[in-house]
Amino acid sequence: MATVDLLFAALFNAAVLFLVTAGLQLIFGVQRIVNLTAGSLYALGAYFGASVFEWFSAQGGSPALLLPVLILSGLLAGQVGFVIERVLRTVYGRDEAFQLLMTFAFVLMFQDVLRYVWGAQPRLLGDLPSVYGTLAVGGFTFPVYNLLVMLSALVVAGLLYWLIERTSLGHVVRATAENGRMAEALGANTRRINTLVFVLGSMLGTVGGALVIPTTAASLEMPIALIVEAFAVVVIGGLGSIRGAFLGAIIVGVLRALSLTYFPELEVMSIYLVVIVVLVVRPYGLFGKAEA
Amino acid sequence: MDETSGIHRRGVLKGMAGLAATSAVGAFPMPAIAQNAPIKVGIIAPRAGTAAYIGANGLRAVEWTIEKINAAGGIAGRKVELVVEEETNAKETLERARRLVLQEKVDCIQGGYSTGVTLPMAPTLEDMQVLTIFWDGTTQDGVKETMPSPKYVFKSTDNECEAVMASLIALKHLKGQFKRIAAISPDYTYGRNVWTAFKALNKKFGIDAEVVSEQWSSFSQLDFTANVAALKAAKPDLIYCVLGNADLPIFMRAATSAGLTDTARMVLVQAGHQHGQLKKPFTPVGTLLCYNTMYFARPNPSPAQKEFVEYYMDKYKDYPHWESDRAFFAMNVYKAGVEKAMAAKGGSWPKPEEIAQAMEGIKVESFGGPAGMRKDHIAEEMFYGGFATHDNPYDVCTLKDTYSYDASVLQKPPGADFWGWLETANFPV
């Protein structure tokens, strides 16, 4: 009994973590930028999703459409990636420290923008997850909304795999990630690819934030809380690897659930202990590539 | 954008500058003794983060209170002006408090939510001889009083009062209904102390309950699915929950949707902090709710509470909570102290130490009922709690029967050790 409940909690946490870190990995994989704004985009998605759904409800929209409305609002909020990428473009090719500082500047600016637009108080969406009810199977009770979020993460993982591995666009993206100059010499519009990838990565973060809002509250603490776990996922899975994000998110989700059950005081330590072990034993992560 | 403060630092400064300028050219000579000048009260309250909701309650209430006081002629004939500063961390807040004293020259400081802020701030304000009345902060290090004999600083009721009340109600009404207990709380001294107090009271009253899980969450934690799974796995009959900010409704939502509330009775020690967010669908009937020093739907409320609750619900579309009471109480204690001290001096304006002395042992009527300030500068107020019912016109729970306790029952006497007092006190169970 306990194992199933714990596994369910771990996988729900992993699903949300995967969505955000997949975006982070995608951007690093192609643009070699550690995008600290991933946490801010996640928070933006949550706030924006809450507002869009409140507006939708005020127009008489059905609560049953919660999930599609939130996904759409997340996709919409992710368009802010266009603006961020336009600014980041000025530091492509410069020292990594410049890029890191610029994304950090965005984190701080986002914090003020979120406070200015939505105020300082955490925002909750009432009891909306219950519109989908619960699923009782063999003595277990699962909130259906949480199952749908997990399913959404699986669909996104599948779509990302298909896009990158099976489409011609994916081939160009991978070529750009491998060697941007060579790809450009062969006719690829790398500038457009960079924009596309950054916006896609941003949308993954904002959709993650929008999907999680019915089970949590949008708050100004969200970016930091998320980034602490997201970086653990990235290090464990390997920087730049989508498969790594998938497995890393599951590892972090399970570790968190287990430590909360058996050693609640050691929740963060248990995760970062594994991070340190990975850094020492396999510095490029489970699916990352060692530097040549 | 925050609508809570109608009076701003810049506005006050401009007003003061204008007054000084007109005085300088002789148009309106300044009075020799500024007895007709407004009384300036510095307010310190959180306006951001998870505590912003609590700060907003206090700020809205203090603005309403001075509006009433000023409409009735002010305090001893002087109008009251507020100068609001934000409560953040201890270091920054202390700097803002200094600014209120040195630059704004406030007559009194009121506010303070977090003991983490008021504990280090109080000695400095005491040294500066600033009359200070905390809404909610104490000067307790854990449960130990660090300033037993202050002259200028007045503190709120002990933090542990509502937790002791939660324990007493649970022991009185749920005895025999729980054998396996669990806790969930942010990992801080208060949470650990009140959980220890609950276990100590269980033992005192002969309840041999097994502790099956202790969940210590991090501050601002926003996902409780794993904690809920851990609690479900432990199969408790009763969960003692010390969450109190935005984390409380998030936890309750996760607990209800996972079926945890079907098998375990919830004791929400700090339900009053977020009762407007505890919607009926995820707050089951029978949940033990503790409302601290103000319960918005109290039967037969005082005229002041009735008027304020109607005003608040109409204006803010929300239900006021105990921080409103604390702000109202602090301002009225100050008013009563000034007027008492002034009467003792035959009508001349009293010094801060004379006002402070007058406030010792003073009684006032707060929103929550009869209240007062002990001789050792610790407030005594009424506390409210009971079991949730959905039988009301609101979207949130109310209490089926309202149980009220005077702080003199819930709070250790002056100078007493909390743990020793718990063992020897004669509780009404």
Dihedral sign (CA B424, B191, A268, A251): positive
Please indicate, yes or no, whether residues B375 and B334 belong to a single structural domain of this protein.
yes
What would the mean pLDDT of B253-277 be, rounded to a whole number? Answer: 91
On whether any CB of chain B is under 8 Å from the CB of A215, the answer is yes
- pLDDT, residue A240, reads 83
- pLDDT, residue B11, reads 44
Chain B residues with CB-CB distance to A126 below 8 A: 279
Please indicate, yes or no, whether residues B210 and B359 belong to a single structural domain of this protein.
no
**Dist CA A60 CA B11 (whole Å):** 43
- pLDDT, residue A1, reads 53
* Pairing state between β B132-134 and B153-154: parallel
Residue B229 belongs to some domain of the structure: yes
Closest by Cα among B398, B167, B400 to B283: B398
The answer to whether A215 contacts B254, with C-beta atoms less than 8 Å apart, is: yes
The residues of chain A scoring below 70 in pLDDT are 1-2, 129, 290-292
Q: What is the 3-state secondary structure (H, E, C) of B282-296?
A: HCCCCCEEEEECCCC
pLDDT in tens, B366-404: 999 999 999 999 999 999 999 999 999 999 999 999 999
DSSP string of B88-157, one letter each residue? -SHHHHHHHHHHHHHTS--SEEEE---HHHHHHHHHHHHHTT--EEESS---EETTEES-SS-SSEEB-S
Decide if B197 contacts B166 (C-beta within 8 A): no
Q: What are phi and psi of A121, to 5 degrees?
A: -80, 140
Please indicate, yes or no, whether residues B372 and B397 belong to a single structural domain of this protein.
no
- pLDDT, residue B399, reads 96
pLDDT of B42 above 60: yes
On whether any CB of chain B is under 8 Å from the CB of A10, the answer is yes
Closest by Cα among A98, A103, A100, A97 to A84: A103
Structural domains in chain B (count): 2
Q: What is the distance in angstroms between the Cα of B250 and the nearest Cα belonging to chain A?
A: 5
Please indicate, yes or no, whether residues B183 and B239 belong to a single structural domain of this protein.
yes
Q: What share of chain A is helix, strand, coil (3-state, %, to 5)?
A: 80, 5, 20
Dihedral sign (CA A118, A122, A127, A132): positive
Please indicate, yes or no, whether residues B105 and B123 belong to a single structural domain of this protein.
yes
Nearest residue of A to residue B185, measured between CA atoms:
A264
**Dist CA B80 CA B67 (whole Å):** 9
Name residues whose C-beta falls within 8 Å of residue B58's C-beta, 6 or more positions apart in sequence: B43, B45, B111, B113, B135, B136, B323, B324, B326, B327
pLDDT of B218 above 50: yes
Please indicate, yes or no, whether residues B166 and B270 belong to a single structural domain of this protein.
yes
The answer to whether B225 contacts A13, with C-beta atoms less than 8 Å apart, is: yes
Chain A residues with CB-CB distance to B54 below 8 A: none
Secondary structure class of A116 (helix, strand, coil): helix
Closest by Cα among A189, A200, A199, A204 to A82: A199
- A29 or B335, which is more confident: B335
**Dist CA B95 CA B138 (whole Å):** 19
Burial class (CB in 10 A: 0-12, 13-18, 19+), B21: exposed
Question: Which residue out of A117, A267, A270, A272 would a mutagenesis test of the B interface target, given it has the greatest number of B Cβ atoms within 10 Å?
Answer: A267
Name residues whose C-beta falls within 8 Å of residue B313's C-beta, 6 or more positions apart in sequence: B296, B319, B320
pLDDT in tens, B71-104: 999 999 999 999 999 999 999 999 999 999 999 9
pLDDT of B130 above 60: yes
- pLDDT, residue B21, reads 40
Chain A residues with CB-CB distance to B230 below 8 A: 6, 257, 260-261, 264
Closest by Cα among A236, A265, A266 to A251: A236
- pLDDT, residue B28, reads 36
Residue B339 belongs to some domain of the structure: yes
Secondary structure class of B44 (helix, strand, coil): strand
Chain Cα centroid distance, residue B352: 24
Residue B2 belongs to some domain of the structure: no
Chain B residues with CB-CB distance to A136 below 8 A: 259
On whether any CB of chain B is under 8 Å from the CB of A117, the answer is no
| Chain B residues whose C-beta sits inside 8 Å of any chain A C-beta | 1-2, 47-50, 52-53, 56, 187, 213-218, 220-223, 225-230, 232-233, 245-246, 249-250, 253-254, 256-259, 262, 277, 279, 281-282
Please indicate, yes or no, whether residues B20 and B130 belong to a single structural domain of this protein.
yes
pLDDT in tens, B185-204: 988 888 999 999 999 999 99
Give the single-character DSSP code of B378: B
Chain A residues with CB-CB distance to B88 below 8 A: none
pLDDT of B39 above 60: yes
pLDDT of B32 above 70: no
What would the mean pLDDT of B230-237 be, rounded to a whole number? Answer: 92
Name residues whose C-beta falls within 8 Å of residue B279's C-beta, 6 or more positions apart in sequence: A126, A127, B249, B395, B396
Chain B residues with CB-CB distance to A134 below 8 A: 257-259
Q: How many CA atoms lie within 13 A of A23 on its CB side?
A: 33
* Pairing state between β B80-86 and B398-399: unpaired
Please indicate, yes or no, whether residues B201 and B88 belong to a single structural domain of this protein.
no
Secondary structure class of B389 (helix, strand, coil): strand
Q: Which domain holds residue B98?
A: 9-157+303-380
Please tell me which of the candidates B52, B228, B250 has its beta carbon nearest to residue A217. Answer: B250
Helix axis angle, B225-234 to A2-31, nearest 10°: 160
- pLDDT, residue B333, reads 98
**Dist CA A57 CA A55 (whole Å):** 5
CATH of residue B407:
3.40.50.2300
pLDDT of B125 above 70: yes
Residue B202 belongs to some domain of the structure: yes
- pLDDT, residue B30, reads 39
Please indicate, yes or no, whether residues B192 and B65 belong to a single structural domain of this protein.
no
Q: pLDDT-derived band of residue B226, with 50, 70 and 90 as boundaries?
A: confident
Decide if B179 contacts B237 (C-beta within 8 A): yes
Chain B residues with CB-CB distance to A137 below 8 A: none
What would the mean pLDDT of B140-147 be, rounded to a whole number? Answer: 85
- pLDDT, residue B101, reads 96
- A250 or B21, which is more confident: A250
Chain B residues with CB-CB distance to A260 below 8 A: 215, 226-227, 229-230
Q: Does an H or E element contain A227, and which?
A: helix A222-237
Closest by Cα among B359, B174, B379, B170 to B293: B379
Chain B residues with CB-CB distance to A146 below 8 A: 225, 257
The answer to whether A120 contacts B258, with C-beta atoms less than 8 Å apart, is: no
| Lookup: tokens for A132 | 């989908």
Closest by Cα among A170, A188, A179, A180 to A292: A179
Please indicate, yes or no, whether residues B174 and B284 belong to a single structural domain of this protein.
yes
Please indicate, yes or no, whether residues B24 and B139 belong to a single structural domain of this protein.
yes
What would the mean pLDDT of B253-264 be, rounded to a whole number? Answer: 91
Q: What is the distance in angstroms between the Cα of A270 and the nearest Cα belonging to chain B?
A: 14
Task: Look at the block and give the residue holding tokens 């914090």.
Answer: A111
Q: pLDDT-derived band of residue B26, with 50, 70 and 90 as boundaries?
A: very low
Nearest residue of A to residue B53, measured between CA atoms:
A121
- B294 or A137, which is more confident: B294
What would the mean pLDDT of B399-412 be, rounded to a whole number? Answer: 94
Secondary structure class of B244 (helix, strand, coil): coil
Residue B298 belongs to some domain of the structure: no
What are the CA-CA distances from residue B13 to residues B6, B218, B259 (Å)? 14, 41, 56
Residue B396 belongs to some domain of the structure: yes
Q: pLDDT-derived band of residue B15, with 50, 70 and 90 as boundaries?
A: very low
Please indicate, yes or no, whether residues B321 and B337 belong to a single structural domain of this protein.
yes
Residue B206 belongs to some domain of the structure: yes
Q: pLDDT-derived band of residue B1, with 50, 70 and 90 as boundaries?
A: very low
Closest by Cα among B231, B290, B289, B291 to B262: B231
Q: pLDDT-derived band of residue B225, with 50, 70 and 90 as boundaries?
A: confident
Name residues whose C-beta falls within 8 Å of residue B269's C-beta, 6 or more positions apart in sequence: B162, B163, B166, B194, B240, B241, B242, B244, B290
On whether any CB of chain B is under 8 Å from the CB of A256, the answer is yes
Closest by Cα among A284, A189, A186 to A241: A284
Q: Quote the mean pLDDT of chain B.
A: 89
On whether any CB of chain B is under 8 Å from the CB of A72, the answer is no
- pLDDT, residue A2, reads 64
Q: pLDDT-derived band of residue B35, with 50, 70 and 90 as boundaries?
A: low
The answer to whether A119 contacts B221, with C-beta atoms less than 8 Å apart, is: no
Q: What share of chain B is helix, strand, coil (3-state, %, to 5)?
A: 40, 20, 40
